[in-house]
Structures are given as C-alpha cells and as structure tokens.
Structure 1
Amino acid sequence: MALDPVLSARADEQAHAARTMWNLLHVWWQMMPKDKRTPANADAAIRRARKDIDFLAVLPAQAAQAVLKTYLQAWKNCWEGRAAAPDFKARLRSVMAVDIPQGRDLNIVRVHRRWGMVNIPKLGRVRFRWTKNLPVGRQADGDNRITGARLVKDALGWHIAFRIQTLEARPEPHRGPEVGIDVGITVPLALSDGTTYGHGEWLTESEQARLLRLERLAARRKKHRKPGERTSRRLHRTYDQIADLRAKAKRRAVDWQHKTTTAIAAKYSVVVVEALTITNMVKSAKGTLEQPGRNVAQKSGLNRAISRQAWGRTITMLTYKTARRGGTLHKVPAPGTSQRCSACGFTTPGSRENQAVFVCKNPDCGWSGNADHNASMNVLHLYRMGLALVPAAGRAVVRRARRVKPATAR
C-alpha cells in the first residue's frame, strides 16, 4: 500500500486501538461470571468502551465488531482443542492489523495494470499494488465477490489482503503417483523418488554483512544504555533496519515455499509427511541450576536452523494445495523413519553414523544410499502399510486402513 506518513500514523493508531480492544475484552471476559459471557453483553461492553475511552474512537465500529468476532472464535478453537486459550496481546510481539469485515464499502477500482484504489474507513482513498485478479465490476456476482479486507503491517510497511468468496468446481481425482517427503536442514525437502528441493541463503553476502554490522551496532548501543533509560531514536532506527532485512529474507523464503509446494501438489496425488512436533524439537537445552544441560550452544544453533526452515508452514501449504488439485496429504508417525533400512526393513544400531549416508548394518542386506532418500521411502512405506495419523480432538491417532489396489484400464 502507498501510505504517506500521515495515513501510516493513522493506521498505526487503529491497529493499537484494536489490540487494546482485544485486551480490554479479555479482561472483561475473565471478570464476568460464566452466565454473563454472551456475545450480546460483550457487544454492549465494546460500545461502552468506545464511548468512555477517547483513543478507541479512532477504530471504526466495524473493526471493533471484528475484534469481538475474532475473540469469540479464538475461544471456540480452544474449546474444540484446535488451539490454546486466548491471552493478552503484547505491544511489541503482536502483529499490527485492522480488519475491514464488510467489502461493500471498499469501492475497489483498478487504475492500471499495477495499481488500484480502495476506500478504507477513516483513512480515505488509498493506492495499493494490484498483484492478484480481484472480482470487481462486471466480474463480481453472488458467487464471486469481495467480502472484506485486512490491513497488516510488517517491517516493510502496511499491506492489504482481500477476502474473496468464490465458487469453485470440485476437482477431479488426481492421477499422479504417491510420494513420501522427508524434511531436513541441509536438504530441506527430500522425496522418495529421489527428487530433492533445496535453496541457498535468503540474503546475499552484502545483506548478510550489513545485518551482522547492524546487530553488532545494536548490541553496542544497548550495552551503553543505563538501566531504566528509554531506548534512543538511534537504537530504534537500528532495530528497524534489522527488521527490514529479516522481513526481506522471510518474503524470499515464503516465495520459495509457495513455488516448491505448488510443483509438488501438481505432480503427486498423495503426499505423505512426518507428524513432527516442532515445538518439542526446538526446546532449549539449558536445563536447571542443579542439572545444567549439555551442548547448549550447539542445540541453540540447531533450534535456529529448524525455525528458519519453517516446516509447519510448508506442510500447511501442501495441505490446501493438494486438496485444490484433487490430491491428499497424510501424516505418519515420525519415530524410526531415519534409522530403518528401506531395503530390508530392519533397524540396526550404527546405520546412521553419517548424517548424509545411510549404511545398513544388517549382514544379510548391506544396502547404502542417501540418508534423506532412505527416510522419505520409509515415510511412504508407513502410509502404504496403513499407518496414517488422523487428528482427533487436538491429538493424533493411528489409523489402520486396508488399501485397495486401483483397477487398471484394459
């Protein structure tokens, strides 16, 4: 979005007001008895807060109602076991965003091939970059229309995302092969048919050097700050420059993930991945004072490498992209997939001494090959054995299914 400093400051005020509205609503929810926690009472409390607190008036009424709707949905997700209970939103750690729940007042107009104009409540007409085809004008009807929008701010500025309601035909069943995928750090995606997908560094050498220089500069300026002293403008500016580079790296990573998952979903009908609990994999190894951990620095580096790969986001993309093309995604248990030999089926100690090469220690086998390729074949083998995981009430259970071989055409 092309916002001047004045409009950007107004959007910031609306985002802070929306975050404050969420926190006030959370306080009200905790203080009220259970029989008084109704949407009607919450709506009345929001209306009263917008009248009593001046700075909440900068938030449009529709956006305030969207905060209530999102908060109630968060509790519903918690009760159904899909997420944790909602909590307060911190100023520095929460995403700055404003919802526009109704799309009828946006009045979207395409100026030319690259730019469009949109009407945002209490901001006016704003230009935005036209990157997707939107159902506007004659293209909009009852089945294809814009139902709302959302303003989101990151380190690179404010962006707008439109919610579109569209009617799509049910896809035909995908006729492609099955594939197992092993995720890793050195090789991000290794497929059971021998295909690998990798990437380089998200930042160039000059950008990495600049990021390192800025991080050292921020640490030096923070070191000379006295306890309780406010952060200087120079330090804030350094933090902003660091955030810009990290946001640029994240955009490049997401772009690679989109292109890679699109290619996989278009080629394969069944995609099988491991059911990884990433939160447990990136836990700290510091331990306690009585029992300190070992190799803490190495474990910290491994945790950062795992977080940079964003395996969960890749699996999420594969889930909806395979469904759009008539395919399916399945998860299988993760333990033992990298230690088992895909040729003989035995798990022998010492077969995975080298991280890159798998050598079976079974005297009757002796197979050797790429370790990631071996793990991906084991992932596919678990699915073909019927050991697929089905999510049920926030947990995964093993499903043993009898697979029927499809009939071949004669």
Structure 2
Amino acid sequence: MPIVLGAIADDFTGATDLANTLVSEGMRVVQIIGVPGPEETYGDADAVVVALKSRTAPVEEAIADSLAALNWLQSEGAEQILFKYCSTFDSTAQGNIGPVADALREAMGCELALICPAFPKNGRTVYNGVLFVGELPLAESPMKDHPLTPMRDSNLMRLMDAQSSGQVGLIPAPIVQQGAEAIRAKIAALITEGISYAVIDALDESDLRTIGKAAEDHSLITGGSGIALGLPDNFRARGKITSGRQTTFAATEGRTLILAGSCSTATRAQLAQAKEKWPHAKVEIDKVAAGDDVVIELTDWAKAQPADSPVIIYGSADPVEVDAIQKRYGVAASGQMMEDTLSALALRLADAGFHRLVVAGGETSGAVVSALDIKMLEIGPEIAPGVPWTQALGPRPLTLALKSGNFGQPSFFEDALKVLP
C-alpha cells in the first residue's frame, strides 16, 4: 500500500514530535533516519516521517537533502507533503526554513504554502503573525539566547520574508475562527495578490484542526507538529486510512543513560532536578579541546555507577558559559566538539549495556542517532507533549527518547522513566 502523507523534518527530535502527533491521531507511522535509499521499506504505514539533520546545515546541503527526501516520498505515493520545523521557528538569518520551503514549493509547483509553527500544548501560539512562547513573544523568550539559532524577531512574516524568495501574507485569527471555508477564501485572495506564503494564526488546538481541514487539498504544508492535528481526518474521510492506533512497541532491557547537549532553560531546569537524584558528570569542552580522552574517562565513570541507577552525562551550560566557550573556540567548532563527544559516548555505552537512552537537544539527538547508525524508529508511548519513547528497528536493541531542548516540565527525566516498565 502506498503512503498517503509524507513528512520532511529538519531535525530528529522534531521528527519524533510529528510522528507522535500523527500516531495519536490514529495513523500508522514510520520514522526513517536520513534520506531513504531505494531499499528502504516501511511496512503498512500510512505516513512516513523522514528525519534530516538540516536545521543548521549549510543551505545548499539542507536543500539537496530535503529535495531528495521529497523525491523518495513522492515515489512512494505520498499525496501530501509536510515540511516540519520547530515550533519556535529555529533558524539563522540565512535560513534554512525559507530556502528549503522555496525549493520544495518550486519542485512541487505550489502557488502558496501555509506557515504555522503553532503548538499550543507546549505554549507556542501565533497571533497577528507574531509567534509567542507562553506569554512572551519569541524574541523575548529564552530562545533569544539559543547558542546556534538565536531568535531576535517574533514576527513570522518578517522572518520568512528575510529568508525566502516569495512574498508573505497573513491569515489572521478572526478568519481562522470563521472556519475552513473562510480560510480557503482568504488563501484564494492571497494567491491572486501574488502571495507565496501565508502565515496563519492559531491560538488553540481547535484552530489547528480547522486549518488542517482547510488545507485538505494542499500538496505542501509547512509548520510545527501541531499543524498535523487536522490532517489524518482528511485522509480518513476519504477512506485512505483506517481508525485506531496500532503498535507493537516493547521497551528493551538494559541500563538507562541520559545525554543532554541542549542549553535551553527547560533542559537546564530538568537537569537540575534530576542531578539531585542520580549520578551525573559534565563534558568539559576545554578538556576536549586540549585533546584529553574525555570519552574513555566518562565511559569508565558511567560503567562504574550503580547498575540500578540512571546515569547523566551533560554538556548543557548557561548563556554566559556558552558565550565564553564560543568566544574561545567558535560557534561551529564548540558545538561540533560537544556533539562528537556525546555521540561517541552514546555508542560506547550502548555497547556496554545502556540500552535505554534519553537525549535532550535536537542537534545532540541527530548526532547520537547517526552515531548509533539507526535507520528507522517505531513510535511508542508519549512522555510529554511532543516527546514519545521510540524503539530503534535494527540489529542493536535500543529504546530512545529524543527531546527537543525546549520541551517538557522540570520533572521530564523522571517522568520519562516512569512511562517504561
């Protein structure tokens, strides 16, 4: 059976976030890591989410990988494509959201694509084209200090206009709240004005379901995982999918490892709480830069901890420390050293029996999954909005939770372990 929905996610945690949403809405979903090869199979899935590591990649690489994923998804029958990015619109001044959206829209011949990163369950809403994180505009939230993608503007129209080649318009909340037909009429009007992208307001899940209904016939949609809430019902109404969630998820046995590379306020609060309970060690970038064998040192340390206790290894730091490190080694180099160290630790400790991994941070998750050579993930139980447990499908038995740095309550790490038997 061909798939009906294909998704291209710009990082691995975002991909699991989206897959979790689609599973919760009754779709059978497979998450594939990286651009699929011709030999990739997905069983009887209704939707396939292709997880890329393209959020902070060079623009040309992000575009090439996204187009390759598009070609594969279309060859497998996908009727609709969702370009998934973070609910905080994480991007640099150069992209990559705008350039990738331009390339996908051109390749698919789309007149207009929607822009909607809203995810109300996690406090991300859009009003009058401005993205809010909780009660704060994006540029006043902790995202303003993100080490790789600091967000200094809250207006999605300005952000998209700076990144993309197309003109950007707005579908405001009063129109959304009038229903799907009103949204469709506004889209038609914007197209006649030569608008290529429409930022659409969304204040709650009801808005997102209405938007999903209005986008029933759109070949390309862009946004966060929330925009996917209304899509499965469209396919269900056309008899393309059956109702009900089907899963064979079974967690692996083994020790638990928590790896945190995210420097977000949320992850640092989660670490602070978990460190009061469990053994923990910090990756010191100065030692890595000096050539010390930090991986061997921390591997030995982790293996020596009590077998019945989760072990925490982290590189997370506050903005002042991050700024000092980046000034010493550069933004790209310091980030790469941390990713390389944490992913090497994941590989060594997985071979040592740590088969349950919780990874905090999109870039960190991408590095870890790549190092472990994971090609496909099955989506399991939800830990928190946007964060499920997943099971690696392949020769190495691993259960993973890949967490966006900004997601979860302070008790997230403890909550994650309570979900599993």
TM-score normalised to structure 2 length:
0.25
**Could you say which structure has the greater relative contact order, defined with CA pairs below 8 angstroms and 6 or more residues apart?**
2
Higher-Rg member (1/2) = 1
